[in-house]
Structure 1
Amino acid sequence: MTTPTPAFFEQFDDEALVAADKAHYMHGYHVFDDHRENGALNIAAGDGAYIYDTKGNRYLDAVGGMWCTNIGLGREEMADAIADQVRKLAYSNPFCDMANVTAIELSEKLAELAPGDLNHVFLTTGGSTAVDTAYRLIQFYQNCRGKHDKKHIISRVNAYHGSTFLTMSLGGKAADHPAEFDFLQDKIHHISCPNPYRAPEGMTEADFLEFLVNEFEEKILSIGADNVAAFFAEPIMGSGGVIIPPTGYHQRMWEVCKRYDVLYVADEVVTSFGRLGAFFASDEVFGMQPDIITTAKGLTSGYLPLGALIFSDKIWNEIAQAGQERCFAHGFTYSGHPVSCISALKNIEIIQREKLLDHVQDVGSYLEERLQTLASLPLVGDVRCKKLMACVEFVADKRTKELFPEALNIGEKIHLKCQARGLLVRPIVHLNVMSPPLTITHAQVDEIVETLREAIEQTAEELLKDGSYAGN
């Protein structure tokens, strides 16, 4: 859509919407007391990198929705493609011997874009269901091989792999494992987060890399190599704090996987489709060939829900052997949805036609450079940025890297000051995370950095005055 006019917002009764939201709408990651008291920011419109609330206030969305609005909001050609597909075929049964044209075309396109021999695609409804499907495929594969004990999974502390029962169990964020929920524990193991900023004191990055690789190998051996099925890893950990691992980490971990017949699952739900300047980051950015890639988010740039699991010839050749009469008894009513698939195809077309991957290489490098200017500010412990994935970590003491008490919620304080200035960043306790659209401009990068600077400086002054912060 074009930029909304003031008249557009006259249709909304914001007070009534706030009341209805509080009364009826349970959000993802619903924080009950906060929502009861403060309600939510109700969004009514979007245009490119900007979104508008129901009062007409405009915000530069440096969060990119949820890591996903890669080509920007309000694209007319996307709306036209979706509407045209609805008229032609709004739905088709995706099971057994039924297929639809757009699902076939998208699967072929994903196999073309994916690295190496990842030529086989299972379409899902989003990232969580893609990771869930990867887990089931791994079980199926190991059983087809007669490796019935090879079912243990290794993940990492601070990993995020989704919000289903299984994928939350795979994840390693303490905040995602509250006492009120139950989780799978007997076959899921977590090794250290590869965060150089939080490496043991005195370790160089090279030492830290050796520590991580040795820890992984020791974990496999302690469980038993005949029992370990797969390693799940985000190329860059997203919700865990934009953790960029030591140089060579993924290659070295992949070598360990090959040594012990462990599948490497690259969870590229966030990192694929341009966020790091490549369609897939595993090979192009990190020089590693996974056995399985999971993807979603930027696959459709958030226009419609869709995810995908892309896997190797090696796995396919094992599970699809002729004469075995096997059935992969797994699927979703809305997997391969023709309208979602057309949005993915149009999204890929736009990324390629507008050379957005090249643009990300340029503007992403500029974001890296500009964000580093915040490193000297009070409160800022670490600035992490790789192209269009970024995070600022706040600390009470730069020397010791001591964090503020969680109850202070430093990331939220700074986020709210940004919001008041027309910028959205994502608060995660002691972090502000950013993942702007691939279409972001240099001028918008400047706006993000300068607004964030003002919010950090104002917050530091307030904390000094009330005694919550002693200064650095």
Structure 2
Amino acid sequence: MDLRPNSDEARDIAYHFHSYTNARVHEQVGPLIMDRGDGVHVFDNHGNKYIEGMSGLWSVAVGFNEQRLIDAATRQMQKLPYYHNFAHRSHGPAIDLAEKLISMAPVPMSKVFFTNSGSEANDTILKMLWYRSNSLGKPEKKKVISRIRGYHGVTIASASMTGLPCNHKSFDLPIDGVLHTTCPHYWREGRDGESEEQFATRCAEDLDAMIQAEGPDTIAAFIAEPVMGAGGVVVPPKTYWEKTQAVLGKYDILLIADEVICGFGRTGKMFGCETYNIKPDIMTMSKQITSSYFPFSAFMMTEEVYAPIADESGRIGVLGHGYTGGAHPVGAAVALENLKIIEERDLVANAAERGAELQAGLRKFVDHPLVGEARGVGLIGALEIVAPEGRADEFAPGKLGAALNAQFLKNGLISRNLGDTLAFCPPLIITAEQISEILSAVDRSLDGFSAEIAG
């Protein structure tokens, strides 16, 4: 790492406050600076090449140098670089994208609301739920149930719905009215002798018990990712979604499907809801909607959700909410072109085919003494790292994951350690040869790390 005065690394330390980083450690070690991208690879400012096994942050579907997205942004910049959707204003890209998203929805949806990030979208959804309940004359129906280890963003409201300790500690979160039920991770949370289906039943029973304890008339919605992402790539156990939706239906509780990571092909279907037969009332979308070439997000809602909100705006005279950059014309134009590429190149099918290869390859590592579990679906997967037998006390939580992640980097692979879980989420354009490249780097890293900590 080049930490000489006036180097990019030194200037980064001097001026740049980083997300999801230990600020004091960063002052000592500095950044890894990326300079350019090419397909599924990125290159740092010293020319080192890496396969981007995380698509940036779960998000670059079409790779890191897609000229069609650059051209779409350029054309829109030249025509109408910015406009808003306040006070009855609109523009072509927003209208086209809203219509496109409604046509793609896995269940009938009524309206799309545009925001700038998944966090903003989920934050807005909570506000809309409160607004809707007031419109319905049910001011007590405001609580939202999320899940332990679920991830829904980092604003005050969305971080409250997130179920991870680092997003709550010292932030005085979660806020009142946000609850967290059982994490559906069978490998970690299942009891001895309990089948997947029995564990799914217990998860549903835990949810039912929480609703009854709080009072069904106080619960507005349940929010969940089809497959958990930042919480460790947690794949739902068999029958989980069927049983969960039955509980929600019994109490007239809305279902919010957070598709920020799963949406637009990641699970091998266009939406995670299709993979697991989920029938949401609201869907959150971001990340792969523009392949993260432009900050953009949205949520769709059914007519049942929309109508009371529209009625309340009529009663008050305005919907007092919106973002300067919401429905940004450049972002909408990039999203439209990105979705065209995903469809034209059949990248959802590629995700299913290459995903099967990725999952099969990861499962082969389960026999390795450092691997406790391999899990995933489509092009999202994970390895759960465990300490060598008899040595668990030597390694604090997250230490093994961080060390192995550093080993991956030495072998030209970018992953992300979520505690002691190593996540994989490569671009949808990935080839069979590049899947092999990832798996080979994992193999070398596991063996190298094993030798490093042997003894």
Q: TM bucket by the smaller chain? A: over 0.9
The residue number in structure 2 matching 1:426 is 416
TM-score, L = length of structure 1: 0.92
The residue number in structure 2 matching 1:29 is 20
Residue 14 of structure 1 deviates from its aligned partner by: 10
- Is the 8 Å Cα contact of residues 398 and 418 (structure 2) preserved in structure 1? no
The residue number in structure 2 matching 1:300 is 290
Task: Determine the C-alpha separation between the residues in 1 that align with 2:103 and 2:392.
Answer: 46
- Is the 8 Å Cα contact of residues 42 and 54 (structure 1) preserved in structure 2? yes
1:330-369 → structure 2 map (5 Å cutoff): 330-369=321-360
Residue 49 of structure 1 deviates from its aligned partner by: 0.3
Task: Determine the C-alpha separation between the residues in 1 that align with 2:422 and 2:396.
Answer: 14
The residue number in structure 2 matching 1:68 is 59
Task: Determine the C-alpha separation between the residues in 1 that align with 2:191 and 2:19.
Answer: 34
Task: Determine the C-alpha separation between the residues in 2 that align with 1:78 and 1:302.
Answer: 10
1:11-160 → structure 2 map (5 Å cutoff): 16-160=7-151
Task: Determine the C-alpha separation between the residues in 1 that align with 2:38 and 2:60.
Answer: 11
Kindly provide the amino acid, as one letter, of the partner of residue 318 in structure 2. Answer: C
Kindly provide the amino acid, as one letter, of the partner of residue 168 in structure 1. Answer: A
Q: 1:176 aligns with which of 167, 191, 204?
A: 167
- Is the 8 Å Cα contact of residues 133 and 309 (structure 1) preserved in structure 2? no
Task: Determine the C-alpha separation between the residues in 1 that align with 2:128 and 2:393.
Answer: 40
- Is the 8 Å Cα contact of residues 14 and 54 (structure 1) preserved in structure 2? no
- Is the 8 Å Cα contact of residues 395 and 403 (structure 1) preserved in structure 2? no
Q: What's the RMSD between the two structures over aligned residues?
A: 1.8
The residue number in structure 2 matching 1:458 is 448
Residue 456 of structure 1 deviates from its aligned partner by: 1.2
Q: Secondary structure at the match of 1:324?
A: helix
Structure-2 change in CA distance of 1:190 and 1:369 (3 Å): same
Q: 2:319 aligns with which of 321, 328, 340?
A: 328
Residue 15 of structure 1 deviates from its aligned partner by: 6.2
Task: Determine the C-alpha separation between the residues in 1 that align with 2:419 and 2:316.
Answer: 51
- Is the 8 Å Cα contact of residues 173 and 240 (structure 1) preserved in structure 2? yes
1:141-188 CA-to-partner distances (Å, cap 9, x unmatched) read: 11111110001111111111101111111111123222x221133211
The 10-residue stretch of structure 1 (122-131 or 203-212) with the greater mean CA deviation from structure 2: 203-212
Task: Determine the C-alpha separation between the residues in 1 that align with 2:315 and 2:393.
Answer: 56
Task: Determine the C-alpha separation between the residues in 2 that align with 1:249 and 1:407.
Answer: 28
Q: Secondary structure at the match of 1:392?
A: strand
The residue number in structure 2 matching 1:235 is 226
Structure-2 change in CA distance of 1:97 and 1:236 (3 Å): same
Task: Determine the C-alpha separation between the residues in 2 that align with 1:404 and 1:311.
Answer: 49
Task: Determine the C-alpha separation between the residues in 2 that align with 1:404 and 1:383.
Answer: 23
* Percent identity between the two aligned chains: 33
Task: Determine the C-alpha separation between the residues in 2 that align with 1:275 and 1:458.
Answer: 30
- Is the 8 Å Cα contact of residues 151 and 187 (structure 1) preserved in structure 2? yes
Kindly provide the amino acid, as one letter, of the partner of residue 316 in structure 1. Answer: Y
In the alignment, structure 1 segments of 5+ residues that lack a partner are 1-12, 466-472
Q: 1:373 aligns with which of 364, 373, 376?
A: 364
- Is the 8 Å Cα contact of residues 63 and 424 (structure 1) preserved in structure 2? yes
Structure-2 change in CA distance of 1:301 and 1:288 (3 Å): same
TM-score, L = length of structure 2: 0.95
Q: 1:254 aligns with which of 238, 245, 248?
A: 245
Q: Secondary structure at the match of 2:217?
A: coil
The residue number in structure 1 matching 2:262 is 271
Task: Determine the C-alpha separation between the residues in 2 that align with 1:223 and 1:160.
Answer: 22
Residue 320 of structure 1 deviates from its aligned partner by: 2.3
In the alignment, structure 2 segments of 5+ residues that lack a partner are none
Residue 385 of structure 1 deviates from its aligned partner by: 1.6
Residue 397 of structure 1 deviates from its aligned partner by: 5.5
Task: Determine the C-alpha separation between the residues in 2 that align with 1:308 and 1:185.
Answer: 23
1:428-467 CA-to-partner distances (Å, cap 9, x unmatched) read: 22111110000011111111111111111221222223xx
Asked whether 1:207 is paired with 2:195, we answer no
Kindly provide the amino acid, as one letter, of the partner of residue 342 in structure 1. Answer: A
Structure-2 change in CA distance of 1:360 and 1:403 (3 Å): farther
Residue 348 of structure 1 deviates from its aligned partner by: 0.4
Kindly provide the amino acid, as one letter, of the partner of residue 108 in structure 1. Answer: E
Give the paired residue count: 450
The residue number in structure 2 matching 1:285 is 275
Asked whether 1:165 is paired with 2:156, we answer yes
